[in-house]
């Protein structure tokens, strides 16, 4: 994977609404179309949340299955589902879609503030989620919103619940969580164990700095409506694919090739 950039596209998230971003994909059909467009643009992974018909977030296995099945019919992209879910969901709700055997799933490595809200991830919950991912042969992305989360992941690794290679997702610039800067990103990277890879997720205004930080530090990139709805100041993005196209262009300017889904499966040992 030397000299190759892995781009993840987070299609919709749990918080953004169509009122805020009219191009936001919500239905399984819209998610599948957005995934195919993002894959064609250069994304090798799509990060998937599901929504109810009214646009509210859901962990309903049937809704996730509908989206996953449609995505798999349209393209060969690596599918990573959320187990972070949304504020108010129980751990049992959040982990349930892992039974669908997606390629990957996020595993939040600690409790995090989302502005005035929060999502709880205790060590017992983290162990439960890791065990379920092992049961269904799903590769975890260790999502870390703070330095302590990276250090907490070491406990799961020491207990044999997570096997290498490790993939970290550094979620940075969330209000009330860790900010994005050269120093904070560098310190997060320093806490990773050997055999680790990482993706930088710059939220909101951290979107473009996150892309540049990932390239400068040898990491991977995540873009998409979950992380940011504006392509530039005051201008809403037209699609998820538009974000991917820019990430591809910047990566090419840095002399990097764009990884394909087959590269990701080989890198993370996804069967």
pLDDT at residue number 85: 86
pLDDT at residue number 144: 97
Total of domains in the chain: 1
For residue 111, which of 130, 124, 97, 98 has the smallest C-alpha distance? Answer: 124
Tokens 């030397």 label which residue?
Answer: 2
CA–CA separation, 58 vs 14, rounded Å? 8
pLDDT at residue number 116: 79
CA–CA separation, 68 vs 81, rounded Å? 9
Distances (CA, A) of 94 to 85, 129, 270: 5, 9, 22
* pLDDT mean for each 10 residues of the chain (271 residues): 90 95 97 98 98 94 98 98 91 97 97 82 97 98 96 97 97 93 97 98 96 98 98 97 98 98 97 85
pTM of the model: 0.97
CA–CA separation, 31 vs 46, rounded Å? 10
Q: What is the DSSP letter of 96?
A: G
For residue 153, which of 164, 163, 142 has the smallest C-alpha distance? Answer: 142
pLDDT at residue number 215: 98
For residue 79, which of 100, 58, 60, 54 has the smallest C-alpha distance? Answer: 100
pLDDT at residue number 114: 76
pLDDT at residue number 219: 98
pLDDT at residue number 1: 64
Q: In which domain, by residue range, is 169 found?
A: 4-267
Indicate which CATH number applies to the domain containing 246: 3.20.20.70
């Amino acid at each position: 994977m030397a000299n190759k950039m892995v781009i993840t596209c987070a299609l919709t998230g749990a918080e953004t609404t169509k009122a805020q971003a009219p191009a936001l994909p919500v239905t399984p059909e819209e998610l599948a179309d957005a995934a195919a467009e993002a894959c064609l643009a250069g994304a090798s992974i799509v990060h998937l949340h599901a929504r109810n018909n009214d646009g509210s977030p859901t962990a309903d296995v049937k809704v996730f299955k509908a989206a996953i099945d449609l995505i798999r019919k349209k393209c060969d992209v690596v599918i990573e589902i959320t187990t972070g879910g949304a504020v108010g969901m129980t751990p049992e709700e959040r982990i349930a879609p892992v039974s669908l055997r997606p390629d990957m799933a996020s595993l939040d490595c600690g409790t995090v503030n989302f502005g005035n809200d929060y999502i709880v991830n205790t060590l017992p919950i983290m162990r439960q989620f890791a065990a379920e991912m092992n049961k269904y042969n799903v590769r975890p992305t260790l999502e870390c919103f703070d330095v302590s989360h990276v250090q907490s992941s070491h406990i799961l690794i020491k207990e044999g619940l997570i096997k290498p290679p490790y993939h970290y997702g550094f979620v940075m610039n969330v209000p009330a969580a860790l900010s994005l800067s050269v120093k904070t990103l560098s310190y997060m990277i320093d806490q990773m164990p050997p055999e680790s890879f990482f993706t930088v997720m710059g939220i909101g205004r951290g979107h473009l700095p996150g892309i540049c930080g990932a390239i400068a530090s040898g990491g991977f990139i995540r873009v998409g409506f979950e992380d940011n709805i504006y392509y530039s100041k005051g201008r809403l993005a037209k699609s998820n694919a538009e974000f991917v196209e820019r990430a591809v262009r910047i990566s090419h300017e840095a002399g990097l090739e764009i990884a394909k889904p087959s590269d990701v499966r080989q890198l993370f040992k996804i069967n």
